[in-house]
């Protein structure tokens, strides 16, 4: 087990958003969490990358290390967990290249950075054409590519993806998921959070269903795709 989450609870002020959820991911897997608006999907990812403190009683282990002891920047730089956040959060005042470079700020393996940059450009050739364009002026699809590219540069053991399909045209959505599959084949574990349940279930091998801060269901994606409850609630009947 690469990532093990037990009894994860998180709150915004006095309001609990996660009421003790459990899940785990093996190395090299693609796992997704689906759920409605406000179910707590983003909160889960924010807790893993330590942007949001977990409430006491939560247990989070990554490759045998206690995640709770890591600062958010160390989660990336020391554990190799990257996070493509909701809304992409690119640095719009920096160029495409600067955004990619910034993601390597804390990396010590300077030699492989150039190679990784080339790799990002071969995954997303569109980015290479826009190397010195300000990230803020990229189209929505290009921004999503840059957000993934940036995560690829920053840490590659586990990638947390928050709705990468958001705002993409269907064709682009498919090629984005193809690209993610490629990154996964290279050895990156992927935890994906999606509202687009059908797409997510086709992409991931296993899935969890999050409802109001509780894990409601889990299982192989194939099973969930045919589960009547899931069909009714998330796949439009």
Q: Which residues bind another protein (CB under 8 A)?
A: 49, 51, 71-74, 76-77, 82-83, 85, 89-94, 98, 101-103, 105-107, 150, 154-155
As a whole number of angstroms, the distance between CA 106 and CA 75 comes to 11
Q: Is 86 in the site for Mg ion (CB under 5 A)?
A: yes
- From candidates 2, 43, 99, 221, binder to ligand ATP by CB under 6 A: 43
- Answer whether 107's CB lies under 8 Å from 113's CB: yes
Pick the closer one to another protein by CB: 41 or 83.
Answer: 83
Q: Which does residue 77 bind out of Mg ion, ligand ATP, another protein, none, counting CB within 5 to 8 angstroms by kind?
A: another protein
Pick the closer one to ligand ATP by CB: 40 or 141.
Answer: 40
As a whole number of angstroms, the distance between CA 231 and CA 237 comes to 5
Q: Which does residue 189 bind out of another protein, ligand ATP, Mg ion, none, counting CB within 5 to 8 angstroms by kind?
A: none
Q: Residues 148, 109, 129, 127: what is their CA dihedral angle, to the nearest 10 degrees? A: 0
**Distance, first Cα to last Cα, the chain:** 34
Q: Closest distance between Mg ion and the C-beta of residue 162, in Å?
A: 6
- From candidates 2, 8, 30, 41, binder to ligand ATP by CB under 6 A: 41
Q: Which does residue 72 bind out of another protein, Mg ion, ligand ATP, none, counting CB within 5 to 8 angstroms by kind?
A: another protein
Pick the closer one to Mg ion by CB: 42 or 143.
Answer: 42
Q: Which residues contact 221 (CB under 8 A, 6 or more apart)?
A: 32, 200, 201, 202, 203, 204, 205, 206, 207
- Answer whether 179's CB lies under 8 Å from 123's CB: yes
Pick the closer one to another protein by CB: 153 or 209.
Answer: 153
Q: Which residue has the tokens 């247990």?
A: 59
Kindly identify the residues of this chain, within the stretch 69-128, that bind ligand ATP according to CB under 6 A.
Answer: 86
Pick the closer one to Mg ion by CB: 81 or 127.
Answer: 81
- Joined together, the tokens standing for residue 70 give 């890591």
As a whole number of angstroms, the distance between CA 81 and CA 49 comes to 7
Q: Is 42 in the site for ligand ATP (CB under 6 A)?
A: yes
Q: Which does residue 51 bind out of ligand ATP, another protein, Mg ion, none, counting CB within 5 to 8 angstroms by kind?
A: another protein
The helix (run of H) or strand (run of E) holding residue 72 is helix 72-77
The helix (run of H) or strand (run of E) holding residue 13 is none
Sites of contact with ligand ATP (CB under 6 A): 12, 15, 17, 35, 37-43, 86, 195
């Amino acid at each position: 087990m690469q990532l093990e989450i037990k009894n994860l609870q998180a709150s915004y002020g006095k309001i609990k958003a996660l009421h003790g959820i459990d899940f785990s991911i093996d190395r090299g897997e693609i796992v997704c969490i689906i759920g409605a608006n406000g179910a707590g999907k983003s909160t889960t990812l924010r807790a893993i990358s330590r942007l949001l403190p977990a409430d006491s009683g939560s247990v989070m282990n990554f490759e045998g290390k206690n995640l709770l002891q890591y600062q958010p920047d160390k989660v990336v730089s020391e554990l190799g967990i990257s996070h493509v956040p909701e809304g992409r959060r690119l640095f719009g005042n920096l160029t495409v290249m600067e955004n990619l470079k910034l993601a390597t700020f804390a990396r010590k393996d300077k030699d492989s950075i150039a190679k990784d940059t080339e790799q990002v450009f071969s995954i997303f050739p569109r980015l290479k054409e826009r190397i010195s364009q300000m990230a803020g002026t990229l189209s929505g699809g290009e921004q999503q590519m840059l957000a993934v590219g940036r995560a690829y540069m920053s840490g590659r053991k586990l990638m947390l993806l928050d709705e990468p399909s958001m705002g993409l045209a269907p064709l682009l959505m498919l090629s984005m998921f193809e690209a993610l599959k490629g990154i996964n084949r290279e050895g990156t574990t992927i935890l994906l959070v999606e509202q687009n349940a059908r797409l997510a279930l086709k992409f991931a091998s296993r899935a969890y269903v999050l409802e109001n801060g509780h894990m409601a269901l889990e299982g192989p994606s194939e099973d969930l795709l045919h589960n009547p409850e899931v069909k009714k609630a998330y796949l439009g009947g």
